[in-house]
Amino acid sequence: MLDRIDARRIALIKPSALGDIVHSLPVLTALRVRFPAARITWVVNRAYESLLTGHPDLTDTLPFDRGAFKGLRAVGAFCSFVAELRRRRFDLVIDMQGLLRSGLMAWLSGAPRRVGFRAAREGGRYAYTHKIAAPGRGGGHAVDRMWSVAEAFGVGHLPKTFRVPLQPTDVSAARDALAALPRPVVAVAVGAKWLTKRWPPAHFAEALNRAHSYFGGSCVFIGAPDDTALSLEVGAKLHGPSLDLTGRTSLPRLAAVLSQCDAMLGNDTGPLHLAAALGVPCVAPYLCTQVALHGPYQQASRCVETNVACAGSYLKKCGNMVCMPELTADRLWPKLAETLDAWQLNRTSRSA
């Protein structure tokens, strides 16, 4: 039925987080093919809005400040957001977050057609008029689960295309920032919100020093301001040149920096998935999460998972952390070496 409906004003609800938004980008492009003349709006947390600015398949965004929904200002902020949501008179709302809050947004929009996943959690599915029978959280990669939306609307045959807007001024600034660094430039993300995702700094330093001894080059540290201390800890142990941009880039500037890098080594975080969407070769250690579900898309062969019994548990906190010493730099090194060797061969062939 959804493959036959028409719509003029469409809202996509996928507020956060960075990696989840990146995983949903192919759906936006497919829906633009399905609804070429429609106004498509992305409902997004204000912290991530800038990443979507200038996307060729998006008409506009409807941001909200999640922090404003707490404390004394919560009622007023929520009412203002709902008023704007209803003012736009969407005739189709697609909830790709699948939680109570996003389901409530869909319902409060007043849209006559509200689409979401049948497996939505926290009761969010009760807000929908049409439910998509997509796999649950453990039913395949996040990109493929999001793609169920494109399939439901009859455009699942299209290729999954990641279109990340890159602003010319940011690309120019990124080139200038990296110009003095010897190639290959490896983007490095040592932080993560979950402690259980954070590969030890000593492992990062060992892998990067080995890469420098074989391939030369340099690295650029990226991430949130909270990751600065970890980046400095790794940087102090390096033998080769590095640049610390941790906490110093906007999301558009981060995308631009990644687009100018030759490879990436990082934990399972948003910047890793953003790099993969930009086509940057990604090497990653996987501890509490699973490559099959949340690895850099179509780059699973470059990732290394821990072999401990509790691997891929998705626990945010753990009293054992036995995966950290088990997944050593020695285990990850072959993947990083293969990736940089491929870069070197490609560079040689281009200069021949």
Question: What structural domains and CATH numbers belong to the chain?
Answer: 9-152 (3.40.50.2000), 168-351 (3.40.50.2000)
Q: Which amino acid is at 231?
A: S
The reported pLDDT for the residue numbered 72 is 60
Instruction: Quickly list H helices, 7-131.
Output: 18-34, 49-52, 74-87, 100-108
The reported pLDDT for the residue numbered 70 is 65
Cα torsion for 92, 97, 101, 105, to the nearest 10°? Answer: -10
Instruction: Determine phi and psi for 128, rounding to 5 degrees.
Output: -95, 145
Q: Please choose, from the candidates 222, 211, 210, the residue with its C-alpha nearest in 3D space to the C-alpha of residue 184.
A: 211
As to burial, measured by CB atoms within 10 angstroms (0-12 exposed, 13-18 middle, 19+ buried), residue 313 is middle
The reported pLDDT for the residue numbered 301 is 97
Instruction: Quickly list H helices, 97-223.
Output: 100-108, 142-152, 168-178, 201-215
Return the number of other C-beta atoms located less than 10 Å from residue 75's C-beta: 10
> C-alpha 35: how far from its chain's center?
25
Residues of the chain with confidence (pLDDT) below 70: 67-72, 136-137, 351-352
The reported pLDDT for the residue numbered 75 is 79
C-alpha 8/C-alpha 17 separation (Å) is 27
Tokens of 172: 């120019």
Each residue's pLDDT tens digit, 245-300: 999 999 999 999 999 999 999 999 999 999 999 999 999 999 999 999 999 999 99
C-alpha 275/C-alpha 269 separation (Å) is 10
Longest CA pairwise span in the chain (Å): 65
- Arithmetic mean of pLDDT over the chain: 95
